[in-house]
Chain A
Amino acid sequence: MLDLRRILHTIPEGICTGINILSISALLFFLLIGVFVVDADLAMQKKTEVKMLLELSNHHATFAINPVLKTEGVIDLLEKEALDRFDRRMLENGGYRREGNKYLPSGHSVTTDSLSFVRHYIDFVSWRNDHQLFLRFNGSDFSLDRVVTGARRPAGGLLQITVMTEKGEELRLAPKTMVGPSHIVVAYVNERPFVPVLPAHAFPVVSVEEVKW
């Protein structure tokens, strides 16, 4: 734009820079709006898609029932096999690979940072009791602090999950009534923003599935 001034030497310099500043600021304004719109789109996508991935994977995982106990009329989950099945669906549907208690994304995954997760199984003995799960995210690790069991209800216990975030904020997730032995997976999405001026995308996502039989 500067050398254009040489062509436009007949026009006073002030007008020329005035136009340039106007158009550049309009450009930046459009870009800023665009960045916010796309960021909101992506945040929405991450939230719904991670939830879907957990639900689809957990659905598949809860088919891993113990065949020996089943013949005796007891429905129980084989936790190791359940985790394997969970891993398989996370890879097939979302392109995530597990390493320890994190799912690492691949190129076409919906997040760019890894997902930390916590898994908990409430078995056939205790699913009628109320359960409170306290989880904590400390910035890199997501862990289960403690599990508090409460009163017994014949119809099935109430499950409440509380997540303590990095900043000390307590998030209470919507309570759920269990209708059978339940496999619970809570993942914590902690994504860096793609432009530093934007806030990070950080939120927990839960999936609770009853064992299938």
Chain B
Amino acid sequence: MGQVITVFLQVMVLLLVPMGILQVHTVVQTHNELLEVSAAATKYISNHGGRGDAEVLGKVRAFMSQELAEKSLTLSEEELIIHIQRSRAADPVLWSHEDEFVLQAELPFPLFVSWLPVEKTMRVVRHGTVNMMDYDL
């Protein structure tokens, strides 16, 4: 009987270690992808600007889904929440030269088990500056 318990415990520990490693690997990789996608989106806004908040948000969403597909990233588009806000604006509508913005990308924290005491979302905040003249928009 004792031997059965020992073997059981050993198998549990042996399974737990790869599980833990896989968990850490998933978290790091998801974070990598979130950092990459948010930085790419920030650059995209920086180089394109836009005619109004709605247009910028729409263009960024389209760009991100294209980016996720092209780079075959594992992030799911439905789970990704994006907020973009201007922190400095020359014109109330146009997103043009030297306007500054804050982009926030958020994901539910990638977990295999739900009882771990960690934050429930993974978030990346990026600040950027638009480099696009208003007469080019």
Contacts and interface: CB of A to CB of B under 8 A. Distances in A.
User: Is chain B found bound to chain A in the same assembly?
Assistant: yes
Interface string A29-68: 0110110011001101100110010011001100100000
Contact of A63 (B17, B25, B28, B129): B129
By secondary structure, the A interface counts as helix
Contacts of A33: 21
Classify chain B: how many residues form its interface, as a range.
Answer: 20 to 34
B101 to A, nearest CB: 11
Interface in B83-112: 97-98
Contacts of B39: 49, 52, 55-56
Contacts of A89: 127
Contacts, number: 83
B3 A11 contact: yes
B14 interface: yes
Q: Which 10 A-B pairs rank lowest in CB-CB distance, beginning with the nearest?
A: A34-B21, A7-B2, A52-B39, A41-B28, A92-B127, A23-B10, A30-B17, A60-B129, A45-B32, A212-B131
Interface of A: 1, 4, 7-8, 11, 19, 23, 26-27, 30-31, 33-34, 37-38, 41-42, 44-45, 48-49, 52, 55-56, 59-60, 63, 89, 92-93, 110, 212
Interface of B: 2-3, 6-7, 10, 13-14, 17-18, 20-21, 24-25, 28-29, 31-32, 35-36, 39, 42-43, 46, 97-98, 125-129, 131
29 contacts: A1-B6, A7-B2, A19-B6, A23-B13, A30-B14, A30-B17, A30-B21, A31-B17, A34-B21, A38-B24, A42-B28, A44-B32, A45-B31, A45-B35, A48-B36, A49-B35, A49-B39, A52-B39, A56-B42, A56-B43, A59-B43, A59-B46, A59-B129, A60-B128, A92-B125, A93-B127, A110-B35, A212-B97, A212-B131
Given A1-B6, A41-B25, 19 more contacts: A4-B2, A23-B10, A27-B14, A30-B18, A37-B21, A41-B28, A41-B32, A42-B28, A45-B35, A48-B32, A48-B35, A55-B43, A56-B39, A59-B129, A63-B129, A89-B127, A92-B125, A93-B125, A110-B35
